[in-house]
Amino acid sequence: MRTYATAQHIGLRGNQCDATAFRTDPVSGARAYVVLDGIGDRPHIRDWVRIAAARLARAAARRLNAEAGLRAVYKAYAADPLRQDSHTRRYEPSAAAIVAVHLPGKPLTIAWAGDCRAYAIQQGTARRLTQDHNLRRVYPPCSAHNGGNRNIITSYLGDSSDDDSVRSAYGHPAIETATVPGPSGLRLLLASDGAYEPHEDSGHALPDFLTGTPGEAARRFVNTAVETSLKTSEDDGRQYADNATVLVADL
C-alpha cells in the first residue's frame, strides 16, 4: 500500500510552478519528501522547479538527512556565476523549498528555505513544525500595524546569500531545521503557501481535511484551499486563487 501522495491545483495561475518529489535511497531505505513553490509564473520557472525538486530529493535521501541535502543543493545553485551577480540573479528561477527525510527507527528531519510548511498530524491534532521565512515573521503584526507582507519571502532555494547574511538582514538563517523524535504513526503534511494560507485564514481545523488515504487527504486539502480562496476573494470584489500543492505521507 502506498504510504504517501501528492496533489496540486493550479488555481488561477497561468503555469503550475510548484513541484513535488519523492526518493528512496536504495542502500539505507531513507525516504525524502520534497515540495517546492516556484517564485513567479513562467514556463521556465515551472521547468526549473521540477528539476530542482528531484535534485533535492535525491540529495537528501542519499545523505539520510534533510538539512545536509538542502544545504548541498542550495550551495550548488548559489555557486552559479549568474546567481553571484547582483544583476543577473534576479532573472534566475528560484523557489521556496522544504524537504523531510525519514529513516525507520530514526528521527524525522526537516529543512526549509522559504515559506513552505510542515505539519505533524496525529490523534486529531495538527502541530506546525516550521517557521515561515517571510516579512510577516520579521515584522509581526501588532497594535500599530498589520505586520510585514507574508508574500515576500526572506530566504529561498536559488539565492546566493549565506546563513550569516540572511540572519543579519532578517533574524533567521538561510536554512532552518526541525527534528521529530519517534515519528512512527504520524501523518506528515508538506504544503505550499497557496495550500495552507486559505485554510489558516478561514480558521479551518487542518486534521478535518486530512482524513482517509494520503491521496484522498491531499486532493481534499488542495481543492478546498482553492475553493476557499475563490470564494473569499470573490466576496472581497476580486477573484484570485494561488496554486496549491501538498505532499501527505504516513510514517
The DSSP-derived string for 172-217 is S-SSEEEEESS-TTPEEEEE-HHHHHHHHHTT--GGGGS-SSHHHH
Q: State pLDDT tens for residues 45-89.
A: 999 999 999 999 999 999 999 999 999 999 999 999 999 988 898
With a cut of 90, say whether residue 141 has pLDDT above it: no
Given a cut of 90, whether residue 98 has pLDDT beyond it is: yes
Residue 233 burial by CB count (10 A; 0-12/13-18/19+): exposed, middle or buried?
middle
Give the residue among 99, 189, 201 at the shortest CA–CA distance from 150. Answer: 201
For 143-173, give one letter per residue: b (16+ CB within 10 A) or e.
eeeeebeeeebbbbbbbbbeeeebeeebebb
Per-residue confidence (pLDDT) for residue 237, from 0 to 100: 72
Q: Cell 476580486: give the residue.
A: 238
Cβ within 8 Å of residue 148, ≥6 positions away: 134, 135, 136, 137, 138, 139, 140
Total residues found in the chain within this entry: 251
Model confidence over 2-39: pLDDT tens digits?
899 999 999 999 999 999 999 999 999 999 999 999 99
Residue ranges and CATH numbers for the domains of the chain are: 4-236 (3.60.40.10)
| pTM flag (> 0.85) | yes
